Structure 1
Amino acid sequence: MEKDFSISYPKTADELCQQSKPLEIYMFIDPLCPECWALEPIMKKLQIEYGKYFSLKHVLSGRLSSLNCSSKKNLANLADFWEKTAFKTGMSCDGSLWLDNPIVSPHLPSIALKAAELQGRKYGMRFLRKLQEVLFLEKQNISSFEVLKTCADTTGLDVIEFVTDIHSDIAAKAFQCDLKITREMEVTEVPTLVFFNENIEEEGIKVTGYYPYEVYVQIIEEMLQVQPQKSDPPPIETFLACFQFVASKELSVVYNKSIYEIEKEMKKLQLRQLVEQIPAKHGMFWKYIG
């Protein structure tokens, strides 16, 4: 990790934040990567507590686009990796997908995501989350056009425009642009986060892989060179209304509570008919219906 912080900053983090967001994080992902999915709780917490100090840009790495889906051994290895990731991180993913309904066009979900982003960044983020949900939890083949169209529809996209954009040169070129950034920043694995400050001449700090939350906070603190003010999370009902469908693990990380404590609270909300319990292969999810 390269670190050389010569830039002058205001005296307090709040002053810094009032000028502009002083940090930018490039998050290199692949929709098929279970560790990218497993980072969801940590990234939600980071954005809630320190989001006023950084902007986040997702970049598609294409690292899984060359999957050999015809090899039974490779598919078995992928299934095993998904299961191990679920046990390690607490974010459920069902590895049997690779044995029952393997992805046949690994690059297509990435192009579809770039097509979704053409309708706005927020729509792109919602579409990515939906892709991950139907892939890791429902074992749906997200290289299917029908599955992609359903995801687009449920996230509020203009489906006709979305289908047109998938087949356009614009989405393909946008994906190629992400691949170029991946090469230029020498990113070879996903997930990878690269942290930059306002001094464009300085190298970023690259963090490859899945790390505890405190590692990312430490990097933000070091790059700001001031003590940032942590924001408190919103009430759980507000969080649920915002994200609509979340794991007990996500709530546990964001609210610093055990899974037992979170699920006890969620069952109270369930009795009030504000949430619906959605069991997954590993752990529990909650759908907001209030």
Structure 2
Amino acid sequence: MSKINLYYVTDPLCSFCWAFEPTLRKFRYEYADYIDHDLTVMGGMIENWETYNGDGANGIQTAVDVAEHWREVGDFTRMPIDGRVWLDEPIASSYPSSQVYQIIRRDFPDKADLFLRKLRERVMLHNQDISKSSVLAILLEDLGFDSRAVLSAAESFEGRSLLSSDLSLASALSATGFPTVVFVNEANQGVKIVGAQPYEGLVAALKQILRVETLKPMPVPSLDIVMKTTPLLMSREIEVLYNLSETEVEGFVHLTMGHDSVETGQILGQTYYKAV
């Protein structure tokens, strides 16, 4: 079977990447057999506001503009985003959290996806400034890491160099927006998907790069297995994973997990489920 390398260029502060998570997660589960190498690449969205050139397509020139954009993305996709952090205390840069991600990916690769997910939960759902060492330290400790050691490595030349390598790779992949997914086949030919495209777009791109008419998806793991690696899921994520309607999710979760194994609540008007 021919396989591809998947490069996912993203940033912890990318709202469309947060909205894209349900789609990409389902794709990675169903087509894992076709993926030889799967790498998440930090793209460096905002080094600082002094050098940021803005995002004209989304009407963003200043930090304050981000708040309205984030709320619009959250409302449209039902992946809730608070956004008040940009009004209360604008985030200075996405580089500090990206550098911490580099250290986690290098030293604890099996925890890298969870760390990136928790970064996004902190900033999107809980309005926390993930450019601050104090916020990152608490998150690291909550996940069982030695926060002092990780932050020291991330803030050193080592952490900056690792991020610089990712930025160079993102540039080589011609990733000019987030999210960007690039498939590269065994002949080193590539197909690029830009933006939070629908699931069908990813499948079509995989068929194109493999030059096949049909693909055989694998079953998505059961919800209890999924929640071992992603303990908190929004209702929208479960809908996408299991092809459910919004009204079917609650019954599905309790049937699959049991009432005592999952906590249910509301965040910004949307339902979440958390493994306990």
TM-score, normalised to structure 1, is: 0.85
Q: Deviations along 1:163-207, whole A, 9 cap, x unmatched?
A: 22122211110101111112222221111111100112x3x1111
How far apart are the structure 2 equivalents of 1:73 and 1:224?
40
Which residue type is aligned with residue 59 of structure 1? Answer: V
How far apart are the structure 2 equivalents of 1:151 and 1:129?
11
- The residue aligned with 2:39 is 57
Residues 101 and 139, structure 1, Cα contact 8 Å, conserved in 2: no
How far apart are the structure 2 equivalents of 1:94 and 1:269?
30
Is the aligned partner of 1:169 residue 2:157? yes
Residues 90 and 282, structure 1, Cα contact 8 Å, conserved in 2: no
Q: Which has the larger radius of gyration?
A: 1
| Helix, strand or coil at the partner of 1:118 | helix
Which residue type is aligned with residue 100 of structure 2? Answer: A
Which residue type is aligned with residue 253 of structure 2? Answer: M
Corresponding residue to 1:209 among 178, 195, 210: 195
Residues 48 and 92, structure 2, Cα contact 8 Å, conserved in 1: no
- Pick closer, same or farther for the CA change 1:69–1:283 going to 2, 3 Å: farther
- The residue aligned with 1:41 is 22
Residues 270 and 277, structure 1, Cα contact 8 Å, conserved in 2: no
Q: How does 1:270-289 map to 2 (within 5 A)?
A: 272-289=259-276
Is the aligned partner of 1:254 residue 2:235? no
How far apart are the structure 2 equivalents of 1:98 and 1:68?
16
How far apart are the structure 1 equivalents of 2:221 and 2:94?
37
Q: Deviations along 1:44-103, whole A, 9 cap, x unmatched?
A: 100111111113211111122233599997233101110111122221111112112321
Residues 69 and 103, structure 1, Cα contact 8 Å, conserved in 2: no
Residues 30 and 36, structure 1, Cα contact 8 Å, conserved in 2: yes
RMSD of aligned residue pairs (Cα, Å):
2.3
Segments of structure 2 that go 5 or more residues without pairing to the other structure are: 55-59
Is the aligned partner of 1:157 residue 2:145? yes
| Helix, strand or coil at the partner of 2:264 | strand
Residues 13 and 45, structure 2, Cα contact 8 Å, conserved in 1: no
Which residue type is aligned with residue 231 of structure 2? Answer: Q
| Helix, strand or coil at the partner of 1:132 | helix
How far apart are the structure 2 equivalents of 1:177 and 1:137?
30
Q: Which aligned segments of 4 or more residues in structure 1 are displaced greater than 4 angstroms?
A: 68-73, 267-271
Is the aligned partner of 1:109 residue 2:84? no
Q: How does 1:76-87 map to 2 (within 5 A)?
A: 76-87=64-75
- The residue aligned with 1:4 is none
Is the aligned partner of 1:32 residue 2:18? no
How far apart are the structure 2 equivalents of 1:229 and 1:73?
44
| Helix, strand or coil at the partner of 2:62 | helix
How far apart are the structure 2 equivalents of 1:111 and 1:242?
22
| Helix, strand or coil at the partner of 2:217 | coil
* Deviating more after overlay: 239-248 vs 63-72: 63-72
By how many angstroms is 1:37 displaced? 1.0
- The residue aligned with 2:250 is 263
**How many residues end up aligned between the 2 structures?**
268
